[in-house]
């Protein structure tokens, strides 16, 4: 029988990195709306507390830095002790850098790669036993349309997000027998504080972007959040190793 319960996350506990603002907060709200307990993580406590108060009793926080990959095993133990076993991991934390490739240093490339790729991989590896124990573990990486199409001035970011896409496929194959699904969502232009600031600096930029987007509009943060909620739910029990573009058709390249 097909019922709405296929989308229920009741009884699950999800860790969302970068969960205090923007897309990460929207993901947390959507998962909580489906019944999951959500642990919002980030480097600064105050934004996390504010975000958790918006969600209510299903939300808690964990101050952490995804760049500190050596701390991942100890962090996994702390998470289990404080919040119970983690059955859902959403690797959302990331950074971007707008700079011509010829001017981008190796140190800058590695910095972007560390946050966007290595931090999430270290967390996934450390949480593997808990994800396996859950019986229906789900890992969702937040990739980007920059991994699906060429975009100027963001080479470091594109390289990192392309690596995320490759990691999703490789890990999904390895962890399938453990009952863990691994997927990614690739957002396009989403209406966030960051994108609004970008448009303020170049009034014509938004119009140019919309003309290259099939749906002729920006996405909402909840568009990403509900896509993640689907991938974490029983409704997606036969979906793994895939990347879902949430970009209004921008990456189709017309």
- Strand pairing of 59-63 and 37-42? parallel
pLDDT at residue number 132: 98
pLDDT, one tens digit per residue, over 1-38 is 556 789 999 999 999 999 999 999 999 999 999 999 99
The predicted structure's pLDDT at residue 131 = 98
Residue 185's nearest CA partner among 155, 159, 164 is 164
Is the full-model pTM beyond 0.85? yes
Q: What is the mean pLDDT of residues 87-103?
A: 95
Return the ∠ at Cα 20 (arms to 35 and 56), rounded to 5°: 40
The encoded tokens of residue 88 equal: 């859902």
Q: What is the pLDDT of residue 252?
A: 85
Q: What is the percent of the chain with per-residue pLDDT over 70, rounded to a whole number? A: 98
Integer-rounded Cα Rg, in Å, for the chain is 18
Distance CA 225, CA 73 (A): 27
> What are the extents of the domains in the chain?
7-190+221-246
CATH class for the region spanning 7-190+221-246? alpha beta
210-249 per-residue burial string, b: 16 or more CB within 10 A, e: under 16: eebbeeeebbebbbbbbbbbbbbbebbeeebbbbbbbbbe
Res. 217: pLDDT tops 70 = yes
Which percentage of the chain shows pLDDT scores above 90?
Answer: 86
| pLDDT reading at 94 higher than 80 | yes
Work out the mean pLDDT of the chain and round it to a whole number. Answer: 94
The predicted-structure confidence for 49-77, as pLDDT tens digits, reads as follows 999 999 999 999 999 999 999 999 999 99
Residue numbers annotated as active site: 157
The predicted pLDDT at position 109 comes to 95
């Amino acid at each position: 029988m097909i019922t709405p319960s296929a989308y229920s996350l009741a009884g699950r506990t999800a860790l969302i990195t970068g969960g205090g603002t923007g897309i990460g907060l929207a993901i947390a709200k959507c998962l909580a709306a489906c019944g999951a307990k959500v642990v919002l993580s980030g480097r600064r406590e105050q934004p996390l507390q504010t975000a958790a108060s918006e969600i209510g009793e299903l939300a808690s926080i964990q101050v952490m830095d995804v760049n500190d990959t050596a701390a991942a095993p100890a962090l996994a133990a702390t998470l289990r002790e404080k919040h119970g076993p983690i059955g859902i991991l959403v690797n959302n934390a990331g950074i971007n850098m707008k700079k011509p490739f010829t001017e981008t240093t190796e140190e800058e490339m590695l910095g972007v790669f560390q946050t966007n790729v290595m931090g999430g991989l270290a967390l996934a590896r450390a949480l593997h036993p808990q994800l396996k124990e859950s019986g229906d573990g789900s890992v969702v990486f937040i990739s980007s349309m920059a991994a699906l199409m060429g975009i100027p001035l963001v080479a470091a970011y594109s390289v990192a997000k392309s690596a995320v896409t490759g990691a999703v496929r490789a890990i999904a194959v390895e962890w399938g027998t453990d009952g863990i699904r691994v997927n990614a969502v690739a957002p396009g232009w989403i209406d966030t504080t960051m994108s609004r600031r970008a448009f303020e600096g170049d009034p014509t930029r938004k119009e140019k972007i919309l003309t290259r987007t099939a749906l002729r509009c920006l996405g909402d943060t909840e568009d990403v959040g509900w896509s993640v909620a689907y991938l974490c739910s029983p409704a997606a029990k036969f979906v793994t190793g895939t990347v879902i573009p949430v970009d209004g058709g921008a990456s189709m390249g017309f």
